[in-house]
């Protein structure tokens, strides 16, 4: 039995999420990670194998925590239009100071890497599918309960809401003017209310 670890893996991943969210994968150097995570580089490589390995762990954690927290409510069997509305309102109310220009890590990664998937883990595609599916689930529930306007195309509406929230993530990331963000959320909510019968 040798020297005990003076770091906690989960804490490292949590800090890494913030660094990668702010700087991207390419913009976050190993030196920066060492400094901001407060751990020596030997332990970083021992624990995660590589910078890419740490990045993958951060993406996975982000999916579980952040995406799960925000989109989980839409995935519940009893989810409906109210859950969608709460989500849209949440993002619209945040304003440019919220999350300090970080945006969504998975959305940022989608843009940074484009169609490439260096680790082959498919985090970005899974993310898109999850958002799309969450909206479809909630809309389908609303339809089954007779709460959705007849003739509403669930596939289209789900794609629409997915692209709306992704657009909001980009605006949050780049600290776009607040009027744009609030407008985006308000109009999306108005459209949602129109869908409701």
User: Nearest approach, Cβ of 11 to a copy of itself (angstroms)?
Assistant: 24
For residues 60 and 62, what is the distance between their CA atoms, to the nearest angstrom? Answer: 5
The only residue of 14, 89, 111, 147 in contact with a copy of itself, by rule CB under 8 A: 111
3-state secondary structure 117-178: CCCCCCHHHHHHHHHHHHHHHHHHHHHHCCCECCCCCHHHHHHHHHHHHHHHHHHHHHCCCH
* 175 sits near a copy of itself (criterion: CB under 8 A): yes
Q: Which of 189, 85, 194, 80 is nearest to 141 (CA)?
A: 80
The item of a copy of itself, DNA, none sharing an interface with residue 2, based on CB under 5 to 8 Å by kind, is DNA
C-beta closer to DNA: residue 31 or 78 = 31
C-beta closer to DNA: residue 2 or 115 = 2
Rg (CA), the chain: 19
Return the biggest CA–CA distance within the chain.
Answer: 67
The only residue of 17, 22, 84, 87 in contact with a copy of itself, by rule CB under 8 A: 22
The item of DNA, a copy of itself, none sharing an interface with residue 173, based on CB under 5 to 8 Å by kind, is a copy of itself
Tokens 């751990």 appear where? 39
The item of DNA, a copy of itself, none sharing an interface with residue 90, based on CB under 5 to 8 Å by kind, is none
C-beta closer to DNA: residue 7 or 66 = 7
C-beta closer to a copy of itself: residue 39 or 139 = 139
């Amino acid at each position: 039995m040798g020297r005990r670890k003076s770091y906690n893996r989960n804490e490292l991943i949590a800090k890494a999420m913030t660094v990668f969210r702010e700087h991207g994968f390419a913009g976050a150097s190993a030196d920066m990670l060492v400094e901001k995570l407060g751990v020596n580089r030997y332990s970083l490589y021992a624990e995660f194998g590589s910078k890419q390995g740490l990045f993958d762990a951060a993406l996975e954690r982000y999916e579980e925590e952040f995406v799960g927290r925000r989109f989980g409510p839409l995935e519940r069997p009893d989810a409906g239009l109210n859950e969608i509305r709460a989500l849209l309102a949440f993002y619209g109310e945040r304003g440019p100071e919220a999350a300090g220009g970080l945006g969504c890590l998975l959305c940022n990664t989608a843009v940074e890497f484009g169609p490439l998937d260096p680790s082959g883990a498919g985090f970005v595609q899974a993310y898109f599918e999850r958002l799309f599916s969450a909206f479809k689930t909630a809309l389908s529930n609303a339809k089954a309960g007779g709460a959705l306007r007849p003739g509403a195309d669930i596939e289209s509406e789900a794609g629409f809401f997915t692209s709306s929230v992704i657009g909001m993530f980009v605006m949050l990331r780049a600290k776009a003017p607040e009027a744009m963000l609030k407008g985006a959320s308000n109009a999306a909510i108005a459209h949602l209310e129109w869908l409701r019968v």
